[in-house]
Amino acid sequence: MTRVQLSDDGGASWADATLAPPVSDYAWRGWTFQWVAAAGDHELCVRATDADGNVQPDEQSWNLEGVMNNAIQRIRVVVGAVNDRQQPADSV
């Protein structure tokens, strides 16, 4: 992996993450990203680029065995003010 990018708007725009040094050619590689979360709904996406310039695809193209899932994963995050937080069920 030579590049990692994060999007907080569902993939409309991308920003580079900071890569940790590689441990070996075949090991997972750590990365960090300083995200300033604004209040509201966000769709976080992360994509990687390899040394040949291949970028993870937006959509998955499944094969017969259902393997090789390397598409961008999407996570919905809702950010609210501190006083908008929900109370735990056992405290109500």
- Give pLDDT tens digits for 27-75: 889 999 999 999 999 999 999 999 899 999 998 877 777 777 789 989 9
| Per-residue model confidence (pLDDT) at position 68 | 74
| Per-residue model confidence (pLDDT) at position 91 | 56
Selected residue with higher pLDDT from 81 and 60 = 60
pTM: 0.78
Mean pLDDT, residues 69-83 taken together: 84
Question: What SS3 state is found at 63?
Answer: coil
- The C-alpha atoms of residue 57 and residue 72 are separated, in whole angstroms, by 6
Q: Which domains does the chain have, with CATH numbers?
A: 3-91 (2.60.40.650)
Element (H, E) at 18: strand 18-19
Contact by Cβ (8 Å): 74, 10? yes
| Per-residue model confidence (pLDDT) at position 82 | 61
